[in-house]
Amino acid sequence: MYAQMIKSTGEGVKSLDEMEPQERAFQERINAGGKIEPKDWMPDGYRKNLIRQIGQHAHSEIVGQLPEGNWITRAPTLERKAILLAKVQDEAGHGLYLYCAAETLGVTRDQLTRDLLSGKMKYSSIFNYPTLTWADMGAVGWLVDGAAIMNQVPLQRTSYGPYARAMVRICKEESFHQRQGYDIMMKMAKGTKAQKKMAQDALNRFWGPALMMFGPSDENSVHSAQSMAWKIKMNSNDELRQKFVDECVPQAEYLGLTVPDPDLKWNEERGHYDFTQPDWDEFFDVLRGNGPCNKERLAARNKAWDDGAWVRDGLMAHAAKKRAAKLAAE
Amino acid sequence: MTNPTQEWPLFEIFIRGQHGLSHRHVGSLHAPDAEMAIKNARDVYTRRNEGVSIWVVQASDIAASSPEEKGSLYEPANDKVYRHPTFFDIPEEVGAM
Amino acid sequence: MSDNLFEFLCRMGDNTLVLGHRVSEWCGHAPVLEEDIALANTALDLIGQTTLWLDLAGEVEGAGRDADKLAFHRDVWGFRNLLLVEQPNGDFGQTMMRQFLFDAWHLSQLNALMDSSNTQIAAIAEKSAKEVTYHLERATETVIGLGDGTEESHNRMQAALDKLWPYVGEMFTLDDVDAAMVDAGIAPDPASLRPAYDALLDDVFAAATLTKPQDDFGHQGGKSGKRHSEHLGHMLAQMQWLQRAYPDATW
């Protein structure tokens, strides 16, 4: 999802009997639906895994500002501009909440930022795709936020307290994101011929990348099994992808748009749509840095960080002077 | 990438809403000092609703009780809420840690 | 009279439209997350105010134009914003200096408009003033912090002030439109706002260790629409492009 391909210990899930008492108590607490809080004992793997996952999730929010931010200054009406700006601002806020959650695990935001900027840490593959027309604002809201919500709603029940609380806040604020996207799509799909064409083109370009957001099949992944045992991953990738397709197909039909998959059809027996897997070679290419916008996205984040250094330092220096003056006056 | 200087400290934010009974912890953020933390909190956590009262506390100043103890399975608790690494001043020449 | 009133309302609305647009350009690119979020809030306030001012302008004009029509279908010469607000963002310091110089004027203008003989204007001013009070507070604190901060931040803020200072004078000049507004009790004489403005700037720049330029030359041509800077056309080319490229579409 916003966190893809997170590696855990890679050692397979231990049974309760194999665990030392401390770890066993920890796992039993999770099994009983309890929350783990920052000061609680936790296995090293749990901590590292969570830092990677929450960090990647936060990075995705921040980098995710860019493709949509690309259209703020070109939004076609004042209202659309305000809505889009509010939405992209929410993403900055969500990144902030998530970084704070990661910080409770013993890592600083600056450290995580450096790992993003150096390319050491990843963000969701989806944000390496370009936004080319206004309809892309519709498609991103509808499909990308739609896919994200599918993952984030269950994460409200995740075992790590600060992460779960951040997700509660995020889900609450994000409820309008997918709707605003679909609203743009409705307007486009029912608009002029050119608008309808734009809408179909956006769906064509974002359908595959949206399916990739859930990550490759992880039925046999030891990493996923461990994450699920720790309740920091709540559903399998395939399960969420299927749910996403099942929800989107009727929504596309309502818009009068065609999902770009000739083999898409309802399977009565399974009670689900059969669909074609996205191009996983492309997915791994994007992950390796060869997506259409990888370099631009990282360059934009690096520039913002570098250009902002004097501001962060300046305000910090002023605060220190103020403190010193106050002390001297006492 | 510019070399990091000092990160803005972390503040914990408590807000009492218009009809709220008492201040409630809503989250955290970074700011150069408490005054800016209040302004940032207004922008980040209230999106400017008026009539709210904001408290900010630097995270490193909070003392907290130990987590719920079940038998002797848990290690003795330290006295800080969070395990933020910023609690430790690492000399710059040591590099990133 | 209604021509002058229309002009005046366009001035108010175009200021917030153009500045709101400029500030929104920062989204995703600010020095730190907290500032990114704060800047977006400012932009959102300004966009909201734009809708109020320009809808009212359209109503006064009576030609069936609303805020969107005015925002997206006028060319450079139709715009009535101050030259100050169309200046490019530059670095973060320049953006915050521009914000401070504008907010300081904007707030006293709005405070005066709350006593306007036109009740619709007074109502918009009252709503806007609440938001702008906070804009000014935040911009003031940032200008002081960066002016006083490090040597680099100080130098950048002084450079920003020197660069933008020639655009301050335009806010306080009186022309026929302003005179008509004064006569009708709708808006204050721009010059009457200057003493308080100067006093505020003196205080803030003292705290920020910044030096106000001596030369009081002021560029003119923004609020009259007679001679905008080259920057505005590029901004409109981006802002209005979709509306212009697909004139028969609704969004």
| Beta strand segments in chain B, E | 10-16, 24-30, 53-58
| DSSP structural state of residue B46 | S
Is residue C250 in some structural domain?
Answer: no
User: B4-94: which CATH number, 3.10.129.10, 3.40.50.2300, 1.20.140.10, 3.10.20.520?
Assistant: 3.10.20.520
Predicted pLDDT at C138: 97
Q: What is the pLDDT of residues A83-131, one digit of tens each?
A: 999 999 999 999 999 999 999 999 999 999 999 999 999 999 999 999 9
Residues (pLDDT < 50) of chain C are none
Predicted pLDDT at A32: 95
Q: Dig out the tokens for C117 from the structure.
A: 């003989």
Predicted pLDDT at B2: 45
Q: What is the pLDDT of residues A145-164, one digit of tens each?
A: 999 999 999 999 999 999 99
Chain A residues lying within 8 Å of B64, measured CB to CB: 39
CATH of the domain at C167: 1.20.1260.10
Phi, psi (deg, nearest 5) at residue A273:
-80, 135
CA distance C33 to chain A (A): 6
Predicted pLDDT at A7: 76
Number of domains in chain A: 1
Is residue A144 in some structural domain?
Answer: yes
* CA angle at C175 for the pair C170 and C177, rounded to the nearest 5°: 115
Q: Is A305 on the interface with B (CB under 8 A)?
A: yes
* CA angle at A152 for the pair A147 and A153, rounded to the nearest 5°: 105
Is residue A3 in some structural domain?
Answer: no
More confident residue, A308 or C1: A308
Distance CA C239, CA C233 (A): 10
Number of domains in chain C: 1
Structural domain for C22, as ranges: 2-245
Instruction: Kindly determine whether residue C249 and residue A192, on different chains, have CB atoms separated by under 8 Å.
Output: yes
Predicted pLDDT at B90: 44
- Partner-chain residue, chosen from C40, C92, C241, that has the shortest CB–CB distance to A89: C40
Predicted pLDDT at A304: 98
Q: If contacts are CB pairs under 8 Å, which of residues 162-191 in chain A contact chain B?
A: 166, 169
Name the residue in chain A with its Cα closest to that of C143. A315
Q: Are A141 and A181 in contact (CB under 8 A)?
A: yes
Buried b (16+ CB within 10 A) or exposed e, A80-117: bbbbbbbbbbbbbbbbbbbbbbbbbbbbbbbbbbbbbb
Interface partners of chain B (CB pairs < 8 Å, 3 or more) are A, C
Q: If contacts are CB pairs under 8 Å, which of residues 39-58 in chain B contact chain C?
A: 39-40, 42-44, 47-48, 50
Instruction: Kindly determine whether residue A319 and residue C145, on different chains, have CB atoms separated by under 8 Å.
Output: yes
Is residue C251 in some structural domain?
Answer: no
Confidence category of residue B19, pLDDT binned at 50, 70, 90: confident
Chain C residues lying within 8 Å of B35, measured CB to CB: 141
Name the residue in chain A with its Cα closest to that of C51. A78
Q: What is the pLDDT of residues C34-93, one digit of tens each?
A: 999 999 999 999 999 999 999 999 999 999 999 999 999 999 999 999 999 999 999 999
Predicted pLDDT at B33: 96
Q: Dig out the tokens for A184 from the structure.
A: 């743009």
Predicted pLDDT at A287: 94
Predicted pLDDT at B92: 56
* CA angle at C183 for the pair C178 and C186, rounded to the nearest 5°: 70
Q: Is A321 on the interface with B (CB under 8 A)?
A: no
Of C170, C191, C167, residue with least CA distance to C179: C191
| DSSP structural state of residue A15 | P
Chain C residues lying within 8 Å of A312, measured CB to CB: 31-32
Is residue C105 in some structural domain?
Answer: yes
Question: Could you tell me the maximum CA-CA distance found in chain A, to the nearest angstrom?
Answer: 79
Distance CA C191, CA C39 (A): 30
CA distance C236 to chain A (A): 9
Interface partners of chain A (CB pairs < 8 Å, 3 or more) are B, C
Interface partners of chain C (CB pairs < 8 Å, 3 or more) are A, B
Predicted pLDDT at B3: 46
Distance CA A134, CA A285 (A): 26
Distance CA C11, CA C80 (A): 5
Instruction: Kindly determine whether residue A85 and residue C250, on different chains, have CB atoms separated by under 8 Å.
Output: no
H helices of chain A, where? 21-31, 44-63, 65-69, 78-103, 109-117, 135-139, 145-155, 161-189, 193-212, 222-229, 237-255, 280-285, 294-329
Name the residue in chain B with its Cα closest to that of A21. B73
Q: What is the pLDDT of residues A19-37, one digit of tens each?
A: 999 999 999 999 999 999 9
> Residue A39 above 70 pLDDT?
yes
Q: What is the pLDDT of residues A49-63, one digit of tens each?
A: 999 999 999 999 999
Predicted pLDDT at B94: 47
Distance CA A222, CA A238 (A): 15
Instruction: Kindly determine whether residue C34 and residue B31, on different chains, have CB atoms separated by under 8 Å.
Output: yes
Q: Which of A316, A321, A323, A327 to mutate to test the interface with B (most CBs of B within 10 A)?
A: A316
Q: If contacts are CB pairs under 8 Å, which of residues 30-89 in chain B contact chain A?
A: 30, 32-33, 36, 44, 64, 66-67, 70, 73-75, 77-78, 80-86
Predicted pLDDT at A271: 97
Instruction: Kindly determine whether residue A80 and residue C28, on different chains, have CB atoms separated by under 8 Å.
Output: no
CATH of the domain at A259: 1.20.1260.10
Predicted pLDDT at C173: 97
